[in-house]
Chains A and B, each alone.
Chain A
Amino acid sequence: MWTWFYRLASPPSVYALSGRLAPWLLAAAACLIAFGLVDGLAFAPPDYQQGDAFRIVYVHAPSAWLSTFAYMLMAVAGAIALIWRIKIGHAVAAAAAPIGASFTLCTLLSGSLWGKPMWGTFWAWDPRLTSELILLFLYFGVMSLRQAFEDPARGDRAAALLAIVGVVNIPIIKFSVTWWNSLHQGATVARFGKPTMVASMLVPLLVMFAGFMLFFVGVLCVRLRAEVLNRERLATWVREAVAT
């Protein structure tokens, strides 16, 4: 059974596969996101409490979810590469990091914009935004550690280990920030949790989640090709792949 998996995970087949998949994934993502945006912004009813400001959720929630999902994927891919020495894992981890970091930044921006009408300021150390900010620091740490080594193979392994340590700490950070927030601010700040979602609100959100997810995998495939090439430059299969 394992040989099937090893053949799939071999760099040339991953390079070819991701090349074929990327355009379809990105096209599907574009349709879903277009539909989700139009439906969410124009047709879904406003929230009874926050009015139309609530529509920010259609971009904020999917990117917040992607920011954490990308880190998890990076840690798991790194762990697989470290433990079973499957080199492609490092390429996946190196490809996922910048995408995850960009969505973390997007979550921070859209989150603070969403909070402005409620808090009166862009940044009010809201527990979820603070955890997202720390997640951005974690991304930055992993990416700069990977670059810091001359030998790329060692940089990959060091970054993989740091990602694993980071992923163990993410729930701890989330818990401690929430605990810290409830300690000082108590319940005074209106928590903008998930407002009650009627069906017509929920559909565009799910569509946006699917769209963002497909987009993420699509971009990951494109970046993966670059990372695989960087790591396999001298392998024989690269000759034909590059010649076309």
Chain B
Amino acid sequence: MTSGFLAMGGYAGYVWPCIGFSLATLAWNLWSAQRASRAALERARRSIAMADA
């Protein structure tokens, strides 16, 4: 059954890359949102430190 499922009725070459792109988009969004919020925290700490100094 799984080989039929993987073949996607002959369109495997189109369906699976699409799923791949979409999951990649979701992953990128998570990763870059995380990175942005970490960078913002860092910058906030630094400017507070500068303000205190």
Residues of B within 8 A of A59 (CB): 18-19, 21-22
**Min CB–CB distance B48 → chain A (angstroms):** 6
Contact call B9/A51, Cβ cutoff below 8 A: yes
Residues of A within 8 A of B51 (CB): 234
Contact call B43/A230, Cβ cutoff below 8 A: yes
Q: Name the contact of B15 in the complex, choosing from A56, A99, A109, A229 (C-beta under 8 A).
A: A56
Contact call B25/A37, Cβ cutoff below 8 A: no
Residues of A within 8 A of B37 (CB): 222-223, 225-226, 229
Known: A53-B15, A102-B25, A219-B30. A226 touches B39 (CB 8 A): yes
Contact call B18/A229, Cβ cutoff below 8 A: no
Taking CB as reference atom, which chain A residue is nearest B47?
Answer: A233
Contact call A229/B14, Cβ cutoff below 8 A: no
Contact call A110/B22, Cβ cutoff below 8 A: yes
Contact call B18/A226, Cβ cutoff below 8 A: no
A55 at the interface (CB under 8 A from B): yes
1/0 per residue B7-24: CB within 8 Å of A? Answer: 011110011011101100
Cα of A99 to Cα of B18 in the assembled complex, Å:
18
Residues of A within 8 A of B39 (CB): 226
Binds B, one of A111-119, A156-164, A183-191, A195-203: A111-119
Taking CB as reference atom, which chain B residue is nearest A116?
Answer: B14
Interface positions of A from 219 to 244, Cβ below 8 Å from B: 219, 222-223, 225-227, 229-230, 233-234, 238-239, 242
Chain B: interface residue total (CB-CB under 8 A): 31
A106 at the interface (CB under 8 A from B): yes
Taking CB as reference atom, which chain B residue is nearest A222?
Answer: B33
Taking CB as reference atom, which chain A residue is nearest B29?
Answer: A219
Residues of B within 8 A of A226 (CB): 33, 36-37, 39-41
Contact call B5/A223, Cβ cutoff below 8 A: no
Cα of A163 to Cα of B10 in the assembled complex, Å:
42
**Interface size of A as a range:** 35 or more
Q: Name the contact of B11 in the complex, choosing from A52, A229, A233 (C-beta under 8 A).
A: A52
Contact call A103/B25, Cβ cutoff below 8 A: yes
Contact call B29/A233, Cβ cutoff below 8 A: no
Residues of A within 8 A of B48 (CB): 233-234, 238-239, 242
Residues of B within 8 A of A41 (CB): 5, 8, 15, 19
Contact call B45/A242, Cβ cutoff below 8 A: yes
**Min CB–CB distance B35 → chain A (angstroms):** 9
Could you tell me which A residues sit within 8 Å of B by CB distance?
A: 26, 33, 37, 41-42, 46, 51-53, 55-56, 59-60, 63, 98-99, 102-103, 105-106, 109-110, 113-114, 116-117, 215, 219, 222-223, 225-227, 229-230, 233-234, 238-239, 242
Could you tell me which B residues sit within 8 Å of A by CB distance?
A: 5, 8-11, 14-15, 17-19, 21-22, 25-26, 28-30, 32-34, 36-37, 39-41, 43-45, 47-48, 51
